[in-house]
Amino acid sequence: MEMSGRPLYQIWNKEKTRKFRRMLLGWYHRNKRELPWRSNPTPYRVWIAEIMLQQTRVQAALPFYQRFLGRFPNVEALAAASQEEVLAAWAGLGYYARAQNLRRAAEQIVREFGGKLPQSLETLQRLPGIGRYTAGAICSIAFNQPRPVVDGNVRRLIGRLHGTMRRAPEEFLWEQAADLVPARRASDFNQALMELGALVCLPAKPQCSSCPVRNLCVACARGMENRRPAVRSAKASKALELVVLVVEHACRILVTSRKSVGFIPGKWCLPTRALEGDRAPARAAELLARETLGRQVTVRAAGQVRHSITWRRLIAHVFAADPCEMPVLGDVRYRWLKLPEAKRVLTSSLYGKAISESFRRD
């Protein structure tokens, strides 16, 4: 609530909390989506789902989830896979550090816990890629422990319920979420809480007429339901410019494991350099081609592609080169691959975009 322009953050009383639980769980029973990790909520399946959903919408993640589980059905299979195999299965989902952390965590789970995810919240948070929210989600959904979860949907939902259009302190949100979760139905309740935020209490144009708890919502009562609880603004970062070279000869593409831009995921990449200073992209591409092929070749501009990796925004200047003959490169870090194979090993979608741009301009 807010009084006299000053926010007051007050945990609900027991009666209001019980009423909220009853309304929310009844709505969830009638309206929940059928999702694969809900029909079979093993700790491993819940863990994979929660990692995928950290930066990806449910509908976009579903086909990747099914394919990933088909390739790595358990912790042991994931731990035994190479990083290249895991990144290839993750290709297209973005934020590839998630996949790298999954594999590292799987190795630790096999090594220290006999292939079983630990049930302790504190122990889970010591695994790579698992923070406060993900640990709480695994403990509550997979193990039915009364642990709170606070993601973007829950933050928005609690903020509106309390009418705190200013940003509520993070600890208050976690305290309220912890007080709301029941001791016996934690799994259903936390999924219901996130489901309500995802389907009804939307960031813009919330569906208040369909909300089962609208009578408890301060924002709805005050006509503030279309306002979003305030969030801290992040300064927009300047895009990093790259030069990407697509070398094609006789229906084969040159790929390399010699990486100069370390944050782009995958073992194999196209020849790539960060654009430094005020150097013109065309000149940088010529130098990159000569360094890669050991000779002077003609390059042509093929366009630009925009891409994001975690918080980085990239602008890739794509250049194409077709040497008169296929150079024999003695360095094992270079390979000439047919187009389908090249697309398979280039796990970053940045390079798929670059190849498409190059061929589109032919």
Predicted confidence (pLDDT) per residue in 21-47, tens digit: 999 999 999 999 999 999 999 999 999
Q: Which residue has the higher pLDDT, 92 or 67?
A: 67
Average pLDDT over residues 181-185: 94
Q: Which residues contact 287 (CB under 8 A, 6 or more apart)?
A: none
Q: 44-77 pLDDT, tens per residue?
A: 999 999 999 988 889 999 999 999 999 999 999 9
43/117 Cα distance (integer angstroms): 7
Q: Is the pLDDT of residue 8 over 60?
A: no
User: What pLDDT is stored for residue 228 in this prediction?
Assistant: 55
Q: 219-237 pLDDT, tens per residue?
A: 888 887 555 554 444 444 5
Percent of the chain whose predicted confidence (pLDDT) is above 90: 62
Please name the residue ranges forming H helices in 2-57: 14-31, 36-39, 43-52
What the chain holds in terms of domains, given with CATH numbers, is 2-221 (1.10.340.30), 240-360 (3.90.79.10)
Q: How many CA atoms lie within 13 A of 150 on its CB side?
A: 19
152/171 Cα distance (integer angstroms): 14
What's the gap between Cα 327 and its chain centre? 39
330 secondary structure, DSSP code: -
Q: Is the pLDDT of residue 317 over 90?
A: yes
Of 201-205, 221-225, 286-290, give the lowest mean pLDDT range. 221-225
Q: Which residue has the higher pLDDT, 273 or 7?
A: 273
User: What pLDDT is stored for residue 338 in this prediction?
Assistant: 93
**Tokens matching residue 224:** 């503030």
Q: Is the pLDDT of residue 362 over 60?
A: no
DSSP 74-130: SHHHHHHS-HHHHHHHHTTS--THHHHHHHHHHHHHHHHHTT-----HHHHTTSTT-
Of 15, 34, 50, 84, the catalytic one is: 50
- Summary mean pLDDT of the chain: 88
Distances (CA, A) of 279 to 117, 158, 243: 50, 50, 11
State pTM to two decimals: 0.70
50 tagged catalytic:
yes
